[in-house]
Amino acid sequence: MNEQETATTVTDAELKRAQDAIDQDEPVIYDVAGTPSGCDVCRDAPKPEGLRVRCKACGTEYGENAHVCHATRCNAKVPPKMLMCLKHWRMVPRDIQRRVWAAYVPGQEIRKDPTDEYMTVQCEAVEAVERREGLAPRTRNA
């Protein structure tokens, strides 16, 4: 492991301290890049990888968008409220597209609480793309 990789590695103890701060509703911030910025509260906070969060004290956002297209074998980054990249979304039949948006509840991607209806129709959208691409449909738990 080189010096740069060591600098961005986060220990279990740092993750535990950060989770404790979150549990106590303290303003804490994580930054994938580890760049110092923000206020005195968030600048020195632990910075585990892979999270996109906002400092409760100053509002500075840190981290990168880790949300990717839900189509099988696609790793295109998309905004969190989008189900798929444009290429794959265009493969979804219009009736399923309409049902996806009808089942979407604004903010569900932030709260991480999509409805059962949304989860069902998003699976149908992914399966429709798999059929169009000639992939074997994945097994879904009912």
DSSP letters spanning 27-49: -----SS----S-HHHHTS---T
Q: CA-CA distances (angstroms) from residue 65 to 1, 17, 51, 68, 122?
A: 25, 23, 8, 8, 20
CB burial class (10 A; 0-12, 13-18, 19+) of residue 42?
Answer: buried
- Residue 93 or 65, more confident: 93
Q: What local confidence, expressed as pLDDT, does residue 48 receive?
A: 55
Q: What local confidence, expressed as pLDDT, does residue 121 receive?
A: 97
Q: Which of 43, 62, 81 is the last residue of a domain?
A: 62
Q: Are residues 79 and 15 in the same domain?
A: no
Q: Tell me: pLDDT of 6 over 50.
A: no
Q: Tell me: pLDDT of 96 over 80.
A: yes
- Residue 57 or 136, more confident: 136
Q: Tell me: pLDDT of 84 over 90.
A: yes
Q: Are 48 and 10 in contact (CB under 8 A)?
A: yes
Q: Are residues 55 and 78 in the same domain?
A: no
- Count of domains observed in the chain: 2
Q: Are residues 56 and 126 in the same domain?
A: no
Q: Are residues 37 and 75 in the same domain?
A: no
What's the domain range around 51? 3-62
pLDDT band of 109, cuts 50, 70, 90: confident
- Residue 111 or 48, more confident: 111
Q: Alpha-carbon distance 54 to 42, whole Å?
A: 9
C-alpha atoms less than 13 angstroms from C-alpha of 14 in its C-beta half-sphere:
13
Q: Are residues 50 and 118 in the same domain?
A: no
Q: Are residues 56 and 119 in the same domain?
A: no
Q: Are residues 33 and 103 in the same domain?
A: no
Q: Are 50 and 65 in contact (CB under 8 A)?
A: no
Q: Are residues 52 and 16 in the same domain?
A: yes
- Residue 33 or 49, more confident: 49
pTM of the model: 0.56
Q: Tell me: pLDDT of 117 over 80.
A: yes
- Residue 98 or 66, more confident: 98
Q: Are 127 and 137 in contact (CB under 8 A)?
A: yes
Q: Which of 19, 42, 62 is the last residue of a domain?
A: 62
